[in-house]
Amino acid sequence: MVALRLGQGFIPDSLENIDIHAVPTGMVRVLKALTLVNVTEDPCWVDLFLNDSPIPKHYIIPGIGGENTLHVKVIDQVMHEGERITAEAEFENAISYYMSGKEEEA
């Protein structure tokens, strides 16, 4: 099993893929950690989807000064060939994300 960073940056304000690539042919991906941080002063909602299943949906993250960091509990979520992680936020450049996991042969 190979450990890797699956993506990092800012959640876009329209639904897009945020992982580095789809799960390759013949491989299985295990999503181990996902952290979201609201870097603005205003609350902002975020939608995350693991192969079209919400993890979470329309979750509001408070702005700076509140509980502005969310550690999404997706430990050991298994993804199969071709699956993706998509997301969107209420505001562009408001929600920073970092996710990591592992890939191995199926």
pLDDT tens per residue, range 42-76: 999 999 998 889 888 899 999 998 899 988 876 68
Fold topology of 2-105? Jelly Rolls (2.60.120)
The pTM score is: 0.89
**Residue 57 has what DSSP assignment?**
S
The more confidently predicted of residues 105 and 76 is 105
Which positions ≥6 away from 5 have C-beta within 8 Å? 20, 98, 99, 100
**Sequence spans of domains, the chain:** 2-105
Residue 5 has pLDDT above 70, yes or no: yes
| Beta strands 27-38; 69-72: pairing state | antiparallel
